[in-house]
Amino acid sequence: MRILVAGGTGVIGSRVVPLLTAAGHDVIATSRRAERLLPAQAAGAEGAVMDARDAASVDAVVSGARPDAIVHLLTDLATEDFAGNAHLRVVGTRNLVAAAERAGVTRMVAESIAWVGEPDAAPGDESVAIARDPDTDESLFPAVESLEAGVLGLEHGVVLRMGMLYGRGTWFGRGGRIYERAEGGTVVATVRHTSFVHVDDAALAVVMALDWPRGVVNIVDDDPVDADEWAPELVWAAGGDTTELTVRATGRASTNTLAASLGWVPEHPTWRDGPFDLV
Ligand SMILES: NC(=O)c1ccc[n+]([C@@H]2O[C@H](COP(=O)([O-])OP(=O)(O)OC[C@H]3O[C@@H](n4cnc5c(N)ncnc54)[C@H](OP(=O)(O)O)[C@@H]3O)[C@@H](O)[C@H]2O)c1
């Protein structure tokens, strides 16, 4: 296939691009800055400069690339600008879906998040509706809803609700924001009830989902856990001592039965290994 990876330089995209080229696909990776595309090009992809907030820029790249499928890995989290990320989810997705429709592209795999279901201590499956937790940033839920609805409007739209990413290059990896705070004993957890997923497993799911039917699929490991349990483990693994935990919202963990039925089995079934793959 000819596959456009929107967000080909991010923590998931930089893994997805070489997986796709190695599998023999023609890949076009996007970034806002040409110099960030060098690793993707070294992996055999073409590079395209695109700002997802600019409809004309997105249209030019999609119509020029003429892809069979689009992979949507656009987030804006490098600076922890959550409002900016919500805006990108809404506007970037709208622009990408509109450009896909104009170019006759019906297949899209997009990254969503797994912790936005009705808050509950019991893990939920894909039938759990996106719900509002009053403790969460209010821009989050409408943005996730908008992203998912846009992608599912395509004939072959697949939404992957990813757990909290850990592994090299993520916030939980050495040098990452959450890791660095944990070295000093401080953990700020987005939600109490958490599902994790190793970023390598997340990338594999994106590649596999290019063949999956339209719908929502949770991409999480086998080991849902509460922040009170994982936070001290992370602090210990990062060399910290006592844990000072702040939990922002209740959240909900997720099950992965559907993904397993589609053939995705995580190579890292639990964040406990390492833990967080840190040793
Ligand atoms: N489920 C999760 O837990 C989850 C999910 C995602 C991220 N994160 C965390 O967030 C951290 C940062 O994520 P990241 O490394 O993927 O970086 P990021 O800054 O979120 O960027 C992701 C991708 O989106 C692209 N992008 C961002 N804004 C864009 C725009 N306006 N137009 C076009 N492309 C745009 C980036 O390209 P350029 O910057 O090259 O233009 C990059 O390819 C990670 O370390 C991870 O821990 C967590």
Sketch the domain layout of the chain as residue ranges: 2-163+198-220+254-261
Q: CA 275 to CA 273: how far, in whole Å? A: 4
C-alpha to C-alpha distance for 151 and 172, rounded to whole angstroms? 28
Q: For residues 246 and 228, is the Cβ–Cβ distance under 8 A?
A: no
The answer, yes or no, to whether residue 79 has pLDDT greater than 90, is no
Instruction: Report the C-alpha gap between 44 and 239 in whole angstroms.
Output: 39
Residue in this structure with the two tokens 């104009």, named with its chain if needed: 102
CATH of domain 2-163+198-220+254-261: 3.40.50.720
Instruction: Give per-residue pLDDT as tens, 130-163.
Output: 888 888 888 899 999 999 999 999 999 999 999 9
Ligand 1 pocket check for 36: Cβ under 6 Å: yes
- 194 pocket-lining for ligand 1 (C-beta < 6 Å): no
Q: Encode pLDDT of 224-261 as tens digits.
A: 999 999 999 999 999 999 999 999 999 999 999 999 99
- Using the atom order of ligand 1, give the atom closest to the CA of residue 10: 16
**Amino acid at site 222:** D
Q: Ligand 1 center to residue 273 CA distance, Å?
A: 25
Substitution candidate for ligand 1 out of 14, 75, 177, 220 with most atoms within 8 A of CB: 75
Which helix (H) or strand (E) segment is 231 a member of?
Answer: helix 227-237
Whole-model pTM above 0.95?
yes
Residue with token string 């000072």: 244
| Secondary structure of residue 40 in the 3-state scheme | helix
Q: Is 89 in the pocket of ligand 1 (CB under 6 A)?
A: no
